[in-house]
Structure 1
Amino acid sequence: MTRRSTARSDASDDHNISGEADYRIAKSLTLISGIVRLQAFKGELGDPRLALSEIANRIDAVARLHSLLAQSMTGTVQLRKYLEQVCESSVRALCYFPTTFAVSCSPEHIVPFRLALPLGLITAELLSNSAKYSHPGGLPLRIRIRCRRDASDALTYLYQDDGVGFPDNFDVGRDGHVGMRLIKSLSERSRAAHHWSSGPSGLSFEMVAPMAG
C-alpha cells in the first residue's frame, strides 16, 4: 500500500469513528430528553432544583465523554479517568453532605466509546440515587466503583454505596422510578447482564458487559 493510500485509509477510519461516536452521543441525548419527559409525565421530577441538577448531570456525562473522544485517535477512552470525572461532577452537583468516592479500574482498562457512554450515564444515575436515598439523616456518603476484565473478555462493573439500601419489600421492576428504568435500558443496550443487591452494608449494582461487538 502506498503512503497516499495509507493516509486515505487512516482518514476514512477517523471519519468512521467520529461519525459513529456522534451518532451514539446524539442517540444518548435523545434518550435523556425522553427520560425527562417521562419523569415530568409521571410526576417524578420533585424538587425543581434537584431535578435540574440531575438533568444537567446526565448531559455533562455525555459531554465529558465527547471531550475525551476528541483527544482519542482510536475511539477508546480510559475508563477510570472517565468515571472519575463523572463522579466528581455528580458529587459537586447533587451531594449536599460529605461524600467520598473511589474508582478502581486499572489503567489498562481502555474501553470503546460504545461501552463507556452507558457506563458513564449509569454511574451518574446510580450516584444520583445514592445522593437522594442512601442516608436520609444526611450522614457522610461513601461510594466505591470497581471494574475488572475477565478471561472471556467481558467487563464487570460494580457500584456500591454504604447507605441504608432498599426499603423492605422493594422491587426494582415494580417500585423503581424512571432513573432505574434508564439504568436497565442502558444495560440491555450494552448486551450486559445486571443485578441489584441491598443489605445492611448498603446498595450495590453489578453489570457484566461484553467488550466486543
Structure 2
Amino acid sequence: MAPSPGTAEDEFERCLTERTAQLREALDRQTMLLREAGHRVATNLQVIASLMVLKARRTQEGEARLALEGMADRIGALAVAHRLVGTEDSLARFALAELAEGLIGEIGAGLADDRVRLATEIGMVALPAAMASPLALTIQELLSNAVRHAYPGDRQGEVRVLGRLVDDALHLEIRDDGIGIDATAVNRQGFGRSLVEMIARQVGGTVAWSDAEPGTRVVLTIPVAPGA
C-alpha cells in the first residue's frame, strides 16, 4: 500500500521536534552548570575575602592592615558581581541597578554608624556580563573612598551612585556631598585612583574627577553595544 500523503513531512516534523527538544535540554543543562560554577566562584571569593579580614584583624594598625582590608573589600566586590551574574535570567547580561545595590549592601553592612547614607539612582540598564567585574571594582573603590574620607568627624551626608545610558554610552557617576575633592580624592599616585583609571582604560572608557560643590563627583563613561 502506498504511504499516505504527508507521511514524509510528518516524519520530518517529528524528527525536528525531537532534535529541538534534545538541544533545549542540553542547553538547559549547560546553563545550570554555568550557574553552579558562578556560584562556586562567588563562594570561594567570599571565603578568600573573609580570610583576609581575619588576617587584617590580627595585623597591627598601619599600612599593611589597610592594604589587607582594602584587598578584602575588592575581592568581596568581585564575589557580588559573580553572584549576580549567576542568578540573572540571562547569563549574558546583568542589571546595573542590582549590582550597585548589592555593593551598597556589602559596604553599608561594614559601617559603624548611619552618619553616611548610600543610595542608587539607576534606570533599567542591562549590560554585558563581562562588564560586571570591572564595574563592581570601580563602584566599590569609589564608594569606599567617599565613605572613608569625605565625612570626617561627626559630619553626615549621602553618597549616590547614578547610572544612565546616553547615545550608546554608559554614564556612571558616584557623587558625595562631603568636604570636597581636594581633601577626598585619591592621590594621583595612589592605588585606588590608579585602579579606577586602569579599569576605565581596559573597558575603553574615560573617568573624570571634579568638585561637586559641595563634595566630589566622579564620572565614568564607557561605550556599550547599541540597544543595551
TM-score (norm 2): 0.69
Q: 1:136 & 1:96 partners in 2: Cα distance?
A: 13
SS at match of 2:110: helix
**Aligned partners of 2:104 and 2:119 also within 8 Å:** no
Check if 1:79 corresponds to 2:96.
yes
Residues 70-116 of structure 1: CA deviation (Å, up to 9, x unaligned)? 2224222221111111012113225655111221112x212122222
Equivalence for 2:176: 161
Equivalence for 1:137: 153
Letter in 2 for 1:117: S
**Aligned partners of 2:96 and 2:126 also within 8 Å:** yes
Q: 1:47 & 1:137 partners in 2: Cα distance?
A: 24
Larger CA deviation: 7-16 vs 122-131: 7-16
Letter in 1 for 2:101: E
Q: Residue 65 of structure 1: CA displacement?
A: 1.6
Check if 1:104 corresponds to 2:133.
no
Letter in 2 for 1:84: E
C-alpha distance 171-149 of structure 1, shift in aligned 2 (>3 A)? closer
Larger radius of gyration: 2
Q: Residue 153 of structure 1: CA displacement?
A: 1.7
**Aligned partners of 2:138 and 2:196 also within 8 Å:** yes
**Aligned partners of 2:208 and 2:218 also within 8 Å:** yes
Check if 1:90 corresponds to 2:112.
no
**Aligned partners of 1:162 and 1:201 also within 8 Å:** yes
**Aligned partners of 2:85 and 2:94 also within 8 Å:** yes
Check if 1:146 corresponds to 2:162.
yes
Q: 2:162 & 2:79 partners in 1: Cα distance?
A: 23
How many pairs align?
191
Q: 1:47 & 1:59 partners in 2: Cα distance?
A: 17
**4+ runs deviating over 3 angstroms:** 8-18, 50-53, 94-97
Q: 1:171 & 1:80 partners in 2: Cα distance?
A: 24
SS at match of 2:63: coil
Q: Residue 7 of structure 1: CA displacement?
A: 2.6
Q: Residue 12 of structure 1: CA displacement?
A: 9.4
Equivalence for 1:195: 208
Q: 1:136 & 1:128 partners in 2: Cα distance?
A: 14
SS at match of 1:60: helix
Check if 1:115 corresponds to 2:131.
yes
Equivalence for 1:59: 75
Greater relative contact order (Cα < 8 A, sep 6+): 1
Indicate the RMSD between aligned Cα atoms, in angstroms.
3.5
SS at match of 2:81: helix
Q: 1:171 & 1:98 partners in 2: Cα distance?
A: 20
Q: Which runs of 5+ in 2 are unaligned?
A: 1-15, 50-61
Letter in 2 for 1:114: A
